[in-house]
């Protein structure tokens, strides 16, 4: 497929996005965080399931797969989407939301990695990035700004600790931008990243280090 065909797939998927809460925020009992890393031609996908409000880890999943799609900015869902779904799918139930290191609708075609995962699994999914990919940032306070596309709010920028840069939060699907923000705030524990993504990121680094060590042994 060429990039124009891939763009059309993203645009078609974006039309299926629902920015209403599939699950009322108070009914979400678990959040699964997912993070990924690469080693040679393999992608490592780590998912971790946390119970709310304690943020206690109750389950984990690690998948290692071959990857063939190249790294192309704004097309990461084609490289990372299916491996992320494979890592997450056994950890989710009707009371679970997902958080991913990647964009949701704050994306040039409204279809980032978080959107792909949400639509594939039909679960409320929130995208978290450390850099703004798309949209204009409008400051609301010292800690909070909204991300807008024209008049529409498509996410939020949140400064989660005094000395860190903000993180960028956008819904993938099945959750509103406001609920995505609240869910992230519920999952903060004094670090820059919310716990589901932070722990998944830490787990990914550990697995990658172990695999790298085994390759060199």
* Domains identified in the chain and CATH numbers: 3-216 (3.30.2170.10)
Residue 13's closest CA among 94, 109, 157, 138? 109
**Confidence (pLDDT) at 216:** 67
Residue 177's closest CA among 146, 140, 213? 146
CA distances from 115 to 51, 74, 174, 194 (A): 23, 12, 9, 19
pLDDT (tens digit, 9 = 90+) per residue, 30-68?
A: 999 999 999 989 999 999 999 999 999 999 999 999 998
pTM of structure = 0.95
Residues 6 or more apart from 171 whose CB is under 8 A from it?
A: 19, 104, 105, 114, 118, 124, 125, 126, 127, 155, 177, 179, 180
Greatest Cα-to-Cα distance within the chain, rounded to the nearest angstrom: 56
The residues of the chain scoring below 50 in pLDDT are none
| CB distance 155 to 170 below 8 Å | yes
> In the beta sheet, which residues pair with residue 47?
34, 61
């Amino acid at each position: 497929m060429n990039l124009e065909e891939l763009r059309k797939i993203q645009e078609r998927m974006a039309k299926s996005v629902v920015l209403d809460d599939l699950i009322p925020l108070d009914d979400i009992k678990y959040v699964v965080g997912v993070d990924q890393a690469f080693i040679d031609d393999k992608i490592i996908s780590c998912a971790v399931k946390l119970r709310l409000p304690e943020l206690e880890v109750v389950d984990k999943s690690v998948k290692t797969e071959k990857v063939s799609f190249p790294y192309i900015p704004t097309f990461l869902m084609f490289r990372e989407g299916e491996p992320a779904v494979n890592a997450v799918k056994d950890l989710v139930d009707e009371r679970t939301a997902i958080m991913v290191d990647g964009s949701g609708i704050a994306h040039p075609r409204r279809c980032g990695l978080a959107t792909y995962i949400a639509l594939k699994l039909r679960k409320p999914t929130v995208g978290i990035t450390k850099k703004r990919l798309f949209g204009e940032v409008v400051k609301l306070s010292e800690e909070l700004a909204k991300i807008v596309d024209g008049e529409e709010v498509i996410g939020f920028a949140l400064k989660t600790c005094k000395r860190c840069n903000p993180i960028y939060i956008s819904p993938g699907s099945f959750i509103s931008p406001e609920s995505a923000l609240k869910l992230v705030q519920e999952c903060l524990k004094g670090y820059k990243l919310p716990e589901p993504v932070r722990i998944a990121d830490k787990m990914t680094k550990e697995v990658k280090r172990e695999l790298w060590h085994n390759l060199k042994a």
